[in-house]
Amino acid sequence: MSKENSNSGFAFIAGLVVGAAVGALAGLLFAPQSGEETRKQLGDKTKEVADELLDKFDDLKESMSDVIDGVKRGTAETIENVKRSTVEMLDEVKKNKTKAV
């Protein structure tokens, strides 16, 4: 995985947090309600944003897990190909050595 993809996931989450904070602040500044109502609304919004962040993090973690699994499979296949090629080359060398003797 490239560093750019890793940074874009972090940037998205950071943007989501900053956007939620700015939205909550704007809501508090322009809301004509009591302090108790504002605190309840702020608490509810905070929980909602936290839940959204956890969902996004779980999605990111799952996609990273899929990428890692793909890399592992590709690596295992490459190792098997190298082993097979090495055995074939050794067999060929043995045949050539027997013919030369």
**Tens-digit pLDDT profile for residues 11-60:** 888 888 888 888 877 777 777 777 788 778 878 888 888 888 888 888 88
Rounded to 5 degrees, what are φ and ψ at 51?
A: -65, -40
Report the C-alpha gap between 41 and 29 in whole angstroms: 13
Q: How far apart are CA 7 and CA 98, in angstroms?
A: 57
Its domain, for residue 59, covers 3-100
In angstroms, the CA 92 to CA 87 distance is 9
Measuring CA to CA, which residue among 59, 84, 70, 52 is closest to residue 9?
59
What's the total number of domains in the chain?
1
- The pTM score is 0.44
